[in-house]
Structure 1
Amino acid sequence: MPSGAAVVPSSGPPAEGNNEPIIASLRRENEELKRKLTLNDNTKQFKADRTTRDDDGGTSADNLSLPSMGARLIVGDLEVVLAVLKEVMKPRSVPASLPVCDKTVGLTSADAVTLARGFDFLTKTSQNSEGEAVGAYLEHFPVMKKISEQQPLLEELLVFTSVRLAAAGKKYASIRLIFGVLLSTFDMLTDVYMLYSYYRAGESGFAVATLASLFSNIGVQLLLVFVQTRKQPKGRMFREMLYVLTFLKPGVDVYRVMLGVEKEVGSFADPKVEMFMAKGTELFAEAIPGAIIQSYAYLTGSGQTNAAAFSLVVSIFTAAFTSTGISFDKDLDHKGRVQSPDMYGYVPDGASRRAKVFILMFCISASQLAVKAMAVALCAVEGGSAVYVYLLGDMALFFAYKLWRRDFWYWIPVYGLSGIIISCITRIIFKAQVDFTAFLHACHPKELGGIYWAFTILSTPIVCFYLGHRYLVYVESDGGKARGLSMVLSAKQVYGTIGGLLTFQVAFFYLFLKSIPQKYIHTFYSTDTANDNSIGYFRDNNLDENKIEILGDNKFKWIKIQDEVIAWLNSKIPEWNEKQPEWWDVKTKATIPDWAVPDEELLKSIRDKGVERVIERRRSSIHYKVGMVDEDNFIDELEKQTDADAIRRRISALEMRREIAEHEV
């Protein structure tokens, strides 16, 4: 009798009267027989697997111990479904690739995990509807397809589960985003109150400094809106700028991300990237300067009130929450984890473990900002020039390091004067965020890099104790006495506060490192540069759709392997034209520069009207209009960094120069 067959009674028709007891008895017998048959099939499969393992050299004792190690046999279709759903409900990161499980019998609890991870991959990475994703899931895993054929409601159950999980994920992410917006708004209100307090107390200097940080943030936000909406109707640009001026932009950004709004035609970035850019701008232009200003006001005795202390704490917490949120979300991004699994993934699976890591990241950031803001504020007591000397010297050292490592250019493919400006601005912003909030995402080679991030964090105690010592010496010096400065903090208070905050930070960072997968610890001291990252990403990747993304990086990042990239590209284009993979679309073709395809016929094959329109839109973008290329330096840079044949190198350089010159026009 086949497994799962119903038991038909051999007796004649049931007696008249109440048939329910008979039917119930038959059902129980049927279920019992099905259970025994399924158990028999599973046992046979398990014995067969064990025999196979024995033949491969394993011992019977080892194999018999497998169930006790977690590979528990799952009996019956219902238990399979329940085991899979139980694993699906557990928070975990989406796997980088689709798992495989070809079993139809003899499933274990480990197989249930594989089936659940397959469900996560197909439902959370698919661009199709939930129903289509579940259909693909059933086709990929034979055991689930077999069960769905016997139980048609399984497919509906899986679709329902997918929808609910997606809604739950958005719910928790939305709660954190909304909390961040509320915290940011509350911070702004406390800043406004402190602004009023400074004016009322006659401390116009602090008031002006606070206003300057606020207006600088608004100015940069308006610039971001212009870049984002410059190709859209003027009414849209005006509305977005109005959101900035009325302080509603953070809430609008969060609302769009919560709804899953996609990138609009003519916009520079999608809503999620736009939100990250706005948060980073607020962190750099307002939150960090605001914390320093309020720390200085508090330490000089101009604002030592409970309200001032509360406002300072709110500013520190807001900046720390923003910094932590950006790093946390970037690490959880599925695309980043798939493309750079050695860099992204330190946030572990499981709701409680993720919450623990987030809290530790927040504490690291808050303690870093508190101690660094205090140290800079103590330095400011000596005078503004001392602060400028420290900050500019620190930044000059960073740029010297980037130039020494040939890693000055930012990875965005913008060249000439505009490329230099963008590279300088982005480097300064990320460096400041690491200095004051220990911005963890900046460990990425395309930002500060692991080794310089570690240097910045490890040098914090030395810098803070030194600046604190300078404060104590200056207040007691003739210069300090001539200015009428008083010792607001004693030596014991200065060293004790700095030492206490740094001790807490070390403890938080130790717990953080113990809470993340150990294979990611190297990212916090890696010596890789952005050049190494781009080249390694190309060479180590086996998927063409990922390898071709190197064309989206600044050319100076991969100029050393330019000939290798061009040779690979020209060998693959005919294959892509023939097979037409899903990713081989207009946007991808438009990333291929003309100079990279010397064969005119091959170039024409990827230059249809749609591609030309995309290229024209890119050529009319702001960085091509503003960019200016120093042709001689450009070629010199190529010759210094390329080991290929000199003639081919010069031809490639001239072709590249001509293309960029056309872009400028």
Structure 2
Amino acid sequence: MEGEVEADVGLMGDVATIDDCPQLPSSPERARSGVCDPTRSSPSVSQMAEKGRNDIEAQDEGAIEVSEEKDEVEEGFEEEMAPVDHGRTTSGEEGKQLGEDLMMAVQEREDGRTEEEAVGEFAATNDLLKGVVEKYAFVEAMLAAIIENKLHRMRKVEGAAKDLEKKDGKEIGESLASTLVASTQVHSAVDEWMHQFPALKELDKEYGWFRPLLVTIGFKLMEEVPWGVKMRVTVGAFTSMSDLLTDVYVTYMFGSDKKYGYFKASLASLVASIGIQMFVVWVQNRKLGMTRVLREWFPILVGYKPAVDAYRVATGAKQEVGAVYDPMLEMTFMKIVEMFAEAIPGVIIQLMAIATSDKEDVGTSAWLSVAVSAITTGFASATISYDWDTDPDRREETPDFYGYIPPKASKRTVVFVSMLLFTAGMLLIRCTTIVLLGLMGGSWAILYIGADLGLYLLVKILRGDFWYWAPLGGNTEIVSSIISRVLIKIIVDFTSMVHFRHPNEVGGAYWLFGFLLTMGSLPVSIYVASPYVDERAINIAWTMVKIFLPSSGLCLLIFFSNIEKKYWHTFWSTLRSKDATMAYFLKGESDAKKKYIFWRSRRQWGSIEGEVKKWVESNWAKWEEEKPEWFTDVTKSAVPVEFIPADGDSKVK
């Protein structure tokens, strides 16, 4: 879909990897396990230089001719797909180990010793940390404040690293906890926090182990503090199970009150949500065996699947060999299914009940319920888009799409709130349109949705862009393409979720078209329905027009004025999913970038399959010998067996 994601579902853009995240789910890139691990080791400068010479020599020996479809790939990806250099000159594994050792030293300190004293003693005996602490006076106090982990407001500390003092380090360190508590992913929280302080960006470039150190500490803190993983899982389990029980109760009450129309609609919504979630879980785990599938189905049936997903993402769980997507992408898919099958139908049912109520004056509680549902959906939509875009791994993998949310904390807040309110407004506008057409007769609403959806699918087919990016193989891709295209399109129609403008999803141009269609449909539907629908429903619709058309437009304007302007083009881009997929290979400047093509359906890159196979055959032995960090078991399992030399190790297939 990332997300998705990364696509169009964006989401999946994915936001923090692209497809591993099915893009949605727009990002198959996320689908690889250790690929996005910020703590993985990085090559030394000499190794990178040697690799560069080898690559150049290999290219001189025989360049592979590129298919004519190269020309179809948008120029925008040409420069942007280059890997981002984070200045990693030391192994990320050292940073991870350093973080674990530091946390252990603090935890095992003698009674009466403070965190700062423990950090100081550790730094004095650790070669890596000792040099940094001696060079930069603020680092020791910063690490102590981070580990102390008390909630404080975000502080403002300017200046170069060499000019900062201990008090500056304390304020910087105290600012991390508030970012962690507001984020779903530790590495995204650390990235956002580091962007607020110029000194941290200096150290990030200078020391390859610095960021992995902080991420490791962040994960340890999230496991220990009351508001960390435990709280998120507990709250997630309680709210998700309560939501399921509420849905069941409301459906039962509709039946008891003999409101059979609403009863059937609520029951269909509930069954569809559970059924689609079970299908997604089956797709994700089918290669791991039916026992695993059944085990993953249980949380769905009892209502705590969101809590399970939240736990995996918060603890940094990696994608397993044999799984289709990583935990972040799976969580995004689950949110989207709930939005499609529960949230959107729920708002329509509530508005229909208000419009057809026998009471002269509908109670405040009814409207409050609608508002809460709209805001909740807006929050879910904004969270998906925000998480995928601020994920540092996705930004590195697809910098031409991810990165529109600016680094400044205040602007990030404005962007998030504007997305939330914009989505809530679009949801109410679209749902009111469906209610009006439904009051004229169910066939009108079906005709409206069907015509819009049919046009979209026709455009996808005519442009050769129907196949969904997820590399499921065989006939499963037929089913997944139909379900994903329909599901994502309907969600975009009702929410205009920013993440789904990804080429893997609806694409920028169709996202913009859908927004304009939704805004214009309500006034037109009022005009058409006026002679046939009760005046009360018409008055409600006009109220929606007067309030939410201008407010939604204003929120979108605020959104565009605060995001990075170089990403505006993604909101009307005509780039196809298959072009974005082939760009990884055709425009990728390294093997690490080219390999992302294996996380996309072969139906999207069939025209260059011969070149991809030749690339694998000529490099497999070298990869097995050198073992680059991206050449994991998950990556090996994604490569088609017939591409691998007879003596190669394909791992799980």
- What TM-score, normalized to structure 1? 0.64
| Aligned with residue 212 of structure 1, among 238, 243, 268 | 268
The answer to whether structure 1 residue 430 and structure 2 residue 488 are counterparts is yes
Aligned equivalent of 2:118: none
Question: CA 1:176–1:466 in structure 2 vs 1: closer, same or farther (change >3 Å)?
Answer: farther
Partner of 1:299: 355
Q: Is the 8 A contact 1:226 1:237 kept in 2?
A: yes
Which of these residues, 181, 195, 199, is aligned with residue 112 of structure 1?
199
Q: Which residue of 2 aligns with 1:513?
A: 560
Aligned residues: 484
Q: What is the alpha-carbon distance in structure 1 between the residues aligned to residue 564 and residue 179 of structure 2?
A: 16
Distance in 2 (alpha carbons) for counterparts of 1:325 and 1:291 = 19
In the alignment, structure 1 residue 614 sits paired with structure 2 residue 639: no
Aligned to 1:361: 419
Q: Does 1:463 align with 2:504?
A: no
Contact persistence 1:88–1:120 (CA under 8 A): no
1:352 partnered with 2:352: no
Higher relative contact order (CA 8 A, sep 6+): 2
- Residues 245, 341 of structure 1: CA spacing in aligned structure 2 closer, same or farther, 3 A cutoff? same
Q: Paired residue for 2:313? A: 257
**Does the 8 Å contact 1:174/1:258 carry over to 2?**
no
User: 1:371 & 1:258 partners in 2: Cα distance?
Assistant: 34
Matching residue of 2:35 = none
- What residue is the counterpart of 2:536 in the other structure? 488
Instruction: Give the superposition deviation at 1:173.
Output: 9.0
Could you tell me which runs of 5 or more consecutive residues in structure 2 were left unpaired when the two chains were aligned: 1-134, 136-157, 181-185
Distance 1:447 1:188 in 2: 28
> What is the deviation of 1:77?
8.3
Report 1:242-391 matches (<5 A). Answer: 242-264=298-320, 267-301=323-357, 304-391=362-449
How many Å separate the matches in 1 of 2:525 and 2:164? 69
Paired AA for residue 273 in structure 2: N
Structure 2 equivalent of residue 30 of structure 1: none
CA contact (8 A) 1:180 1:321 kept: no
Comparing 302-311 with 179-188, greater Cα deviation is found at 179-188
Structure 1 residue runs without a partner (length 5+): 1-41, 43-69, 99-108, 135-158, 476-485, 598-602, 616-665
8 Å contact 1:84–1:112 — kept in the other structure?
A: no
Partner of 2:635: 588
- Cα distance, 1:316–1:596 mapped onto 2, change above 3 Å: same
Mapping of residues 471-550 of structure 1, within 5 Å: 471-475=529-533, 486-490=534-538, 493-550=540-597
Match for residue 151 of structure 1? none
| Conservation of the 8 A alpha-carbon contact between 2:203 and 2:210 | no
- Kindly state the Cα deviation for residue 525 of structure 1 after the two structures are TM-superposed: 1.1
> How far has the Cα of 1:445 moved from its partner?
0.7
Instruction: Tell me the distance in 2 between the aligned counterparts of 1:331 and 1:536.
Output: 20
Give the Cα–Cα distance (whole angstroms) in 1 for the partners of residues 279 and 219 of structure 2. Answer: 38
Please say if residues 432 and 541 of structure 2, whose CA atoms lie closer than 8 Å, have aligned partners that are also in contact: no
Deviation at 1:519, TM superposition (A): 1.3
Structure 1: distance between partners of 2:349 and 2:535:
19
1:405 match: 463
User: What root-mean-square deviation, in Å, do the aligned CA atoms of Structure 1 and Structure 2 show?
Assistant: 3.8
SS where residue 505 of structure 2 aligns?
A: coil
Query: Distance between the aligned counterparts of 2:382 and 2:426, measured in 1?
Result: 12
Q: Taking structure 1 as reference, are residues 174 and 261 closer, same or farther at Cα in structure 2, changes over 3 Å only?
A: same
**Aligned residues of 2:244 and 2:303 also touching (Cα < 8 A):** no
Return the offset for 1:388: 1.1
Contact 2:241 2:302 in 1 (8 A): no
Alpha-carbon distance in 2 for matches of 1:556, 1:237? 26
The offset of 1:90, in angstroms, is 10
Q: Where does 1:411-426 land on structure 2 (aligned, <5 Å)? A: 411-426=469-484
1:420-472 CA distances to partner (integer Å, 9 max, x unpaired)?
22111100111011011111111111111111101101111221222222221
Contact 1:91 1:350 in 2 (8 A): no
Q: Deviations over 1:530-577 (max 9, x none)?
A: 122122232332221121221332223233444443444444335434
Change (3 A) 1:575 1:259: closer
Could you tell me which residue of structure 2 aligns to residue 556 of structure 1?
Answer: 603
C-alpha contact 1:379 1:387 (8 A) present in aligned 2? yes
Question: How do 1:211-230 and structure 2 match up within 5 A?
Answer: 211-230=267-286
Q: Would you say 1:604 and 2:634 are equivalent positions?
A: no
Q: Does the CA contact (< 8 Å) of 2:160 and 2:199 recur in 1?
A: no
* Native 8 Å contact 2:503 2:580 kept in 1: yes
Any conservation in 1 of the 2:523–2:545 contact (CA below 8 Å)?
A: yes
Cα distance 1:595–1:309, how it changes in 2: closer, same or farther (>3 A)? same
Which deviations, in whole Å up to 9, do the C-alpha atoms of 1:496-522 show, x marking residues without a partner? 422421111101111111121111111
CA 1:424–1:538: 2 relative to 1, 3 Å: same
CA distance in 2: counterparts of 1:424 and 1:275, whole angstroms: 21
Q: 1:115 to 1:300 in 2, by over 3 A?
A: same
Contact 2:161-2:198 at 8 Å conserved across structures:
no
Say whether the 8 Å CA contact 1:464–1:498 is kept in structure 2: yes
Relative distance call for 1:296 and 1:88 in structure 2 (3 A) is closer
2:303 is paired with a residue whose SS is: coil
Deviation at 1:328, TM superposition (A): 1.6
CA deviation string 1:130-188 (max 9, x = no partner):
4xx89xxxxxxxxxxxxxxxxxxxxxxxx87x677877999689978877776656655
| CA positional deviation for 1:71 | 7.3
Q: TM-score, normalised by structure 2?
A: 0.65
Letter in 1 for 2:424: A
Contact 1:324–1:439 (CA<8 Å) still a contact in 2? yes
Cα drift, residue 594 of structure 1: 5.0
Deviation, 1:88, is 8.3
1:86-112: CA deviation from partner (whole Å, max 9, x where unpaired): 9989969989xx9xxxxxxxxxx9973
Check 1:242–1:512 CA distance in 2 against 1; reply closer, same or farther (3 A cut).
same
Distance 1:163 1:111, change over 3 A: same
- After superposition, residues 56-205 of structure 1 pair within 5 angstroms as 74=162, 112-118=199-205, 122-124=209-211, 126=212, 130=213, 188=244, 191-192=247-248, 194-195=250-251, 197-205=253-261
Query: CA separation in 2, counterparts of 1:163 and 1:417?
Result: 40
Secondary structure of residue in 1 paired with 2:550: helix
Q: CA deviation at 1:289?
A: 1.4
Distance 1:511 1:164, change over 3 A: farther
1:394 to 2:394 alignment = no
CA 1:392–1:123 in structure 2 vs 1: closer, same or farther (change >3 Å)?
A: farther
CA distance in 1, matches of 2:210, 2:435: 51
